[in-house]
Structure 1
Amino acid sequence: MESNILLDLKNVNKVFGNNHVLKDINLQIERGKFITFLGPSGCGKTTLLRSIAGFYTVDKGEVWIDDKLVNDLPPYKRGTPMVFQEYALFPHMTVFDNIAYGLDIQKRPEGEVQQRVEAAMAQVKLTGLEERYPHEMSGGQQQRVAMARALVMNSPIILLDEPLSNLDAKLREEVRVELRTLQQELGLTVIYVTHDQLEALSMSDYIVVFNKGAIDQYGTPHEIYYEPRTQYVADFIGTTNFIDAVVEKSEGEMATVRYGQAGDTVTVTSKERLIVGEEVHLCVRPESLRIRQPEAGEFKMTGIIKSSMFLGEKERYFLVDEVGSEWIVDAYDIGKTHFEGFVQMSAATDKIHIIKKSN
């Protein structure tokens, strides 16, 4: 019976000189999923992608693809076609020849090459452009050629290293939708590298958040955004307000914490095992806060609005609370209402997330 785990990374380490780039990476990726490696520049995400592809040899650990240990296999024998940031198309070759290149290297029969290239071009909507050269195509079309060159190999996994970074904002969004739709229609397993949080949240089945060569969290976009395991993840994904708190009561998945100068308490759910007296962070997203009178049991805070920014669908307010901490509140669909001066903020208890300080 075929395993549902297509890629299995076991204790993978990579060192360049004195720089320990990958630190004990353990990760299992299921077939047919869109997985995004997310993190800032230099966090190890591209190094891990290239280690999976075989462009780098890992210094410690094992890389298993389709139940086969591939540590000693060169890239062309791993079945991991890669779409690069700069596409890496051959300028002297036509679209057809660029896409067929991998099959030609394998010396596949001419009839098979023709059939597979035509099928791949149809999948990425390039039919009719076979005789064009890369310089005659737009950035979006070149990206599709690079994708077709990966698809034509019929490999179990496709690796993409920030393939949309050279496109303008509108085209990025269009190609993003196309890429996700193609992955779902064909049941592809895709590993996608980006530093763009919105890209990761909108495209992925699962996100791997990297922090200095290690994995901080692996989860669904919803889990990463609303249930970050560490302050780093909460701060890196989107915008988050943090406030220190102390656990007063903990029973099962319910915890009562005390916070703020006034010593207010709020009871929230927590998947973490908490201890009475433990110091924790409360995090709340700007869109979860409301500038209004709090209701009983809600999280509440007072502050003074220092400035605001109109962003079309929302007004973003920048506030300072009674101890000088800064807050961000996003107010949506408020028409011509504009808040100023001293205000009260509140949030429903299910919008408050607890992060252990040890994390």
Structure 2
Amino acid sequence: MSSHILLDLKNVSKVFGSNHVLKQIDLQIERGKFITFLGPSGCGKTTLLRSIAGFYTIDEGEIKIDGQLVNDLPPYKRGTPMVFQEYALFPHMTVFDNVAYGLDIQKRPEAEIQDRVKSAMAKVKLTGLEERYPHEMSGGQQQRVAMARALVMNSPIILLDEPLSNLDAKLREEVRVELRSIQQELGLTVIYVTHDQLEALSMSDHIVVFNKGAIDQYGTPHDIYYKPRTPYVADFIGTTNFVDAVVRDFANGKATVEYGTSKRTASVTIDEAVTSGEKVLLSIRPESMRINATNAGEFIVSGFVKSSMFLGEKERYFILDDDMKEWIVDAYDIGLTRYQGNVTISAADDKIHLIKIS
């Protein structure tokens, strides 16, 4: 195994009763990366996180941390501190004692505890608040205490289970930036669980998209967003226009595809081979389309503005084409311009992503 790989999961499965929660998960995570497990409730992301931490015993497979098989190790011997959604702070303990708790359990020397707690608290900007109690702190400060308690263990990997879900929107954004900054500054390996797509896209080096106990895609935020491998990933991450199309030709990594009764065509770059006559799905993001601004060779559709919605930085249009398919198109920075009636919508070929469905 490469020395760059910190966490290695092979064929990991977990069953609760008749519910197969994790299905043969294979995943390798490099050290020093911010990895997000993303998916809706019940998809298996938190179960996998807790299995890595040792709170659940897996039914099949291997979990290796830094090359060591940890399947039979209890949580406190795995070096995988977890920051929980509800922070799990002890209300009767001061901030200092909360942060020092794991070191106390290990019976570390008092001088070492003092140094490590002070260092951890400085990293999350809590210096001077050591004697406060959790109830005397804001939600954001409590979240930082929970993070300091994980950092103080000097572990190679930190697990975070939806730690921002109890914060309001503005504070979430602030703490999100802080968490990413701490991770990069200290070179930590972080695994972060969320169902929030924006959170995943804005914070992660790589995203693992879960679907019913399995991994649908593992990739960078840009790949997950612009090059989804499955309809599920394309639909779950943001908004997209799905287009049923047929392949007419494939050569040199480019597929010519055809859509609709008027047989509009587009040339789409694709990594894997497709065959003539094969039915495929195209994914085109609303922000990748333009209204009444066509260029030669682009994918072009005529339509009628059914309705629109003003969203501040953009106007979202719902447009019906000749086949009565509804398209979502986002127009940015258009001032007081409003499109009505008959329009053309278009997308450059490199903004169209082909998804195999067979």
Q: Which amino acid aligns with 2:32?
A: G
CA distance in 1, matches of 2:156, 2:111: 23
Deviation digits for residues 303-355 of structure 1 (CA, Å, limit 9, x no counterpart): 22111111111001112222222211000011110001221100111100000
**Alignment gaps of 5+ in structure 1:** none
Query: 2:294 corresponds to which residue?
Result: 294
CA distance in 2, matches of 1:252, 1:19: 44
1:42 is the counterpart of 2:42: yes
Q: Which amino acid aligns with 2:317?
A: Y
Deviation digits for residues 136-189 of structure 1 (CA, Å, limit 9, x no counterpart): 000000000000000000000000000000000000000000000000000000
Output aligned runs, 1:115-154, within 5 Å. 115-154=115-154
CA distance in 2, matches of 1:323, 1:263: 11
CA shift at 1:293, angstroms?
Answer: 4.3
Query: 1:268 corresponds to which residue?
Result: 268
Q: Which amino acid aligns with 1:288?
A: S
Query: 1:178 corresponds to which residue?
Result: 178
CA distance in 1, matches of 2:117, 2:322: 65
Query: 1:322 corresponds to which residue?
Result: 322
Output aligned runs, 1:1-12, within 5 Å. 3-12=3-12
SS at match of 1:235: helix
Query: 2:311 corresponds to which residue?
Result: 311
CA shift at 1:295, angstroms?
Answer: 1.7
Query: 1:347 corresponds to which residue?
Result: 347
Q: Which amino acid aligns with 1:40?
A: P
CA distance in 1, matches of 2:206, 2:293: 37
Q: Which amino acid aligns with 2:241?
A: N
Query: 2:168 corresponds to which residue?
Result: 168
SS at match of 1:15: strand
Query: 1:97 corresponds to which residue?
Result: 97
SS at match of 1:6: strand
CA distance in 1, matches of 2:209, 2:173: 22
Q: Which amino acid aligns with 1:181?
A: S
What is the TM-score when the length of structure 1 is the normalising length? 0.98
Worse overlay, 245-254 or 108-117: 245-254
CA shift at 1:294, angstroms?
Answer: 2.2
CA shift at 1:102, angstroms?
Answer: 0.2
CA distance in 2, matches of 1:53, 1:291: 50
Deviation digits for residues 167-213 of structure 1 (CA, Å, limit 9, x no counterpart): 00000000000000000000000000000000000000000000000
CA distance in 2, matches of 1:132, 1:231: 49
CA distance in 2, matches of 1:195, 1:28: 21
Deviation digits for residues 225-257 of structure 1 (CA, Å, limit 9, x no counterpart): 000000100000000001111111111311111
Output aligned runs, 1:233-244, within 5 Å. 233-244=233-244
Query: 2:23 corresponds to which residue?
Result: 23
Aligned residues: 358
CA distance in 2, matches of 1:122, 1:37: 28
What is the TM-score when the length of structure 2 is the normalising length? 0.99
SS at match of 1:234: helix
Worse overlay, 225-234 or 254-263: 254-263
SS at match of 2:172: helix
Q: Which amino acid aligns with 1:4?
A: H
Query: 1:278 corresponds to which residue?
Result: 278
Q: Cα 1:249–1:192, aligned 2, differ >3 Å: closer, same or farther?
A: same
SS at match of 1:130: coil
Worse overlay, 251-260 or 160-169: 251-260
CA distance in 2, matches of 1:286, 1:306: 15
Q: Which amino acid aligns with 2:148?
A: A
CA distance in 2, matches of 1:22, 1:154: 29
SS at match of 1:80: coil
CA distance in 1, matches of 2:351, 2:73: 48
CA distance in 2, matches of 1:272, 1:301: 27
SS at match of 2:184: helix
Q: Which amino acid aligns with 1:342?
A: N
CA distance in 1, matches of 2:37, 2:4: 20
- Runs of 4 or more, structure 1, over 6 Å off, are none
SS at match of 1:42: coil
Worse overlay, 307-316 or 204-213: 307-316
CA shift at 1:2, angstroms?
Answer: 7.5
CA distance in 2, matches of 1:135, 1:191: 27
Query: 1:254 corresponds to which residue?
Result: 254
